[in-house]
Amino acid sequence: MSKRRKNQDRGTSADAPQRQKLRDIFVARPFEGLADEAEWIALRELVPAATVPLRLSAELSAKYGEREIALTTVLPGAAPAMVRADGQIMIGLQRHQQSGDVNRDLAVALLSALETETGKPVVVPALPGEGPRLADVLVDGELDVTVHDGFDFWLTADAAEEPQAKQLLEQANAAVFPTVKLAARRGAYWCLAGAKAHVRLVLTDDEDAALLALTRLSAAGELTLGEGTKFAGMFRAHGRLAPVWDLPTDVPGAQWEDAVAAFSKRYEAALTDSSPLTAEQRRAKQGLLGRQLALR
């Protein structure tokens, strides 16, 4: 028997120690099935500073009690979770440590935080493997989003007075750009990023159907939010499309509600059009494809 065959046999014998390997699985649309998919994606990809109160499932509430839990766009150091000095649990959407399934990552972060003592760092597995996901650990529903001007919500009032904490907040708050949540559509936000103003929103329809609807609007000259606006392109985020418009910087964010509502009506109507694309529409589609950026 060859040395190679002996090594193979030795490695597969019943007495040899077995290494447990976790295989990362990529989930292209991690928030599929949640009641407010558009907001989950927007908070993960488009919004700098926001919080959402979360409620534990009945099973976890019975085990851990009615814990105060907040979903946040980002935490200090892009950490996955933290337990504040007052016991509040915070779960960060925008984080460094992640697997191929964002949904599962968030569920694991929450479960890890529930087992962490107040004031202790939350240790979260880097690759969680199979197990509970958000719908298993939370009460699903429409997210009640609060947009913030900065990250002062990270810390309790007493903790925020410490010199090191003040410096941390000053640095983090300097990176926050003005953002307004628009009521006209779920997952729609106005922002002023540097010298440019934008409306960005998440479409939860199938990517192909959404692209066709946007194509028809583009060919008809209706892919606009009004005078002085320009369709800038679209992101691909977690299996959905997120169109972006350039806007005049002198118009406040709240004044774009009507324009977004009017676009939504045109878009919904275009979704129902199943006629073959015309030559002009096919050219418009190619133009839109050339302006896509992949976020995830």
- Specify the pLDDT at position 22: 58
* pLDDT mean across residues, the chain: 91
Tell whether 7 is covered by a domain: no
SS3 content of the chain, % helix, strand, coil (to 5): 35, 20, 45
Task: State phi, psi for 115 to the nearest 5 degrees.
Answer: -95, 5
User: Domain tally for the chain?
Assistant: 2
- Residue 85: how many other CB atoms lie within 10 Å: 12
Q: Which of 141, 173, 205 is the last residue of a domain?
A: 173
Strand ranges (E), 136-264:
146-147, 179-181, 188-193, 196-201, 230-237, 240-247
Convert the pLDDT of each residue in 168-182 to its tens digit. Answer: 999 999 999 999 999
Convert the pLDDT of each residue in 43-74 to its tens digit. Answer: 999 999 999 999 999 999 999 999 999 999 99
Antiparallel, parallel or unpaired: β 89-92 and 69-72: parallel
Tell whether 145 is covered by a domain: yes
Q: Does position 205 have pLDDT exceeding 90, yes or no?
A: yes
- Do 168 and 59 share a structural domain? yes
- Where does the pLDDT of residue 21 fall: very low under 50, low under 70, confident under 90, or very high at 90 and above? low
- Do 161 and 48 share a structural domain? yes
- Do 210 and 151 share a structural domain? no
- Do 129 and 207 share a structural domain? no
Tell whether 26 is covered by a domain: no
Q: Does position 26 have pLDDT exceeding 60, yes or no?
A: yes
The three-state secondary structure class of 184 is coil
Q: Are 38 and 210 in contact (CB under 8 A)?
A: no
Tell whether 2 is covered by a domain: no
- Where does the pLDDT of residue 84 fall: very low under 50, low under 70, confident under 90, or very high at 90 and above? very high
Mean pLDDT, rounded, for 217-234: 96
Q: For the chain, what percent of residues have pLDDT higher than 70?
A: 91
Tell whether 24 is covered by a domain: no
- Do 288 and 241 share a structural domain? yes
- Specify the pLDDT at position 19: 43
Q: Does position 196 have pLDDT exceeding 70, yes or no?
A: yes
Q: Does position 8 have pLDDT exceeding 80, yes or no?
A: no
Antiparallel, parallel or unpaired: β 146-147 and 50-54: antiparallel
Tell whether 22 is covered by a domain: no
Tokens 């997952």 sit on residue: 187
* Closest by CA position to 218, among listed 207, 203, 233, 206: 233
Top-confidence residue, 114 or 126: 114
- Amino acid identity at 34: L
End-to-end CA distance of the chain: 49
- Specify the pLDDT at position 18: 44
Q: Which of 123, 142, 173 is the last residue of a domain?
A: 173
Convert the pLDDT of each residue in 248-291 to its tens digit. Answer: 999 999 999 999 999 999 999 999 999 999 999 999 999 999 98
- Do 82 and 158 share a structural domain? yes
Tell whether 232 is covered by a domain: yes
Q: Does position 6 have pLDDT exceeding 80, yes or no?
A: no
Q: Does position 127 have pLDDT exceeding 90, yes or no?
A: no
DSSP notation for 271-287: HT--SPPPHHHHHHHHH
Top-confidence residue, 186 or 194: 186
Domain that holds residue 184: 179-294
- Do 205 and 143 share a structural domain? no
- Do 155 and 94 share a structural domain? yes
- Do 169 and 44 share a structural domain? yes
CA distance 171 to 90: 20
Q: Are 103 and 238 in contact (CB under 8 A)?
A: no
Q: Does position 14 have pLDDT exceeding 50, yes or no?
A: no
- Do 54 and 109 share a structural domain? yes
Q: Does the pTM exceed 0.95?
A: no
The CATH number for 253's domain is 3.30.1460
CA distance 189 to 182: 5
- Do 195 and 149 share a structural domain? no
- Do 169 and 41 share a structural domain? yes
- Where does the pLDDT of residue 28 fall: very low under 50, low under 70, confident under 90, or very high at 90 and above? very high
Q: Which of 173, 193, 216 is the last residue of a domain?
A: 173
Tell whether 30 is covered by a domain: no
